[in-house]
Structure 1
């Protein structure tokens, strides 16, 4: 069964990027063992991200200069990027640009996932759109031992406890890995 999962890292006070869209804070923390990420990626059939996340990944990983790295990172999984702008695509990458309401694109995402999960890579605003549309099934967040004074929030909307059920807590190196199931809330 295909699930829609927001899988990300956050500071202890709920930011996924600082005021300058930087993740330097994240890479200053010793990363968890790679098998956790590999285990997650094995469940994923399609990636979904906003244009800011996509551009950050392109730049940080140097994917336009070294397009072969895309396949090493994501395999042949298609990536849907929500944007209203024209953006570059690394040679050989299966990147599909979409715009508008997440509900209008959902069937395409589900089909492209091929029975595996849909990974909402980021950002928090896009994950919030899926949550608000009732399309988000889970949140998996690695909480780093870092606090920022501002930046991009994990989710830029109010979510009450009746929507989230804690499924598991795991220590992964210096990170607390939290897994939540997302429910529809009160009827």
Structure 2
């Protein structure tokens, strides 16, 4: 999956979780440019990580005008995902069911007034995780 990605977009909380808990010693998304949406004043670093204080929809529109940003992966952040879902800007959904019951948490799909029709493209099973891949249908 990741070999086809040239750009990663995530929120600040997801970035913090990656660098402090999930992969503190090594950035896991080498080879792709990462944009971290934040209101903090961080500066970009040498690992192709760019911090942006802007609307995610505007960022994606700008990236699609450049040479990069053709294969964008939204790597996390329910707030980021909800903005893109409500603007119907996600072409393909990779949804993973991980066998852990949390009991509570942040909803990925908030309420919306629109219906977005999806078509199943495929499924994968690995390490007890089920990944479902859906494409947005243009109807």
Normalising by structure 2, report the TM-score: 0.82
The equivalent position to 2:18 in structure 1, one of 57, 61, 64, is 57
Q: Which runs of 5+ in 2 are unaligned?
A: none
**Alpha-carbon RMSD:** 2.4
Normalising by structure 1, report the TM-score: 0.63
Counterparts of 1:124-135 in structure 2, within 5 Å, are 124-135=78-89
Aligned length: 137
SS in 2 for 1:141: strand
The equivalent position to 2:94 in structure 1, one of 120, 140, 145, is 140
Displaced runs of 4 or more, over 4 A: 158-162
Identify the structure with bigger relative contact order (alpha carbons < 8 Å, sequence gap 6+).
1
Q: Which runs of 5+ in 1 are unaligned?
A: 1-39
C-alpha change, 1:114 and 1:48, in structure 2 (3 Å) is closer
Identify the residue that residue 118 of structure 2 maps to in structure 1. 164
Matched, 1:123 2:77: yes
Matched, 1:84 2:39: yes
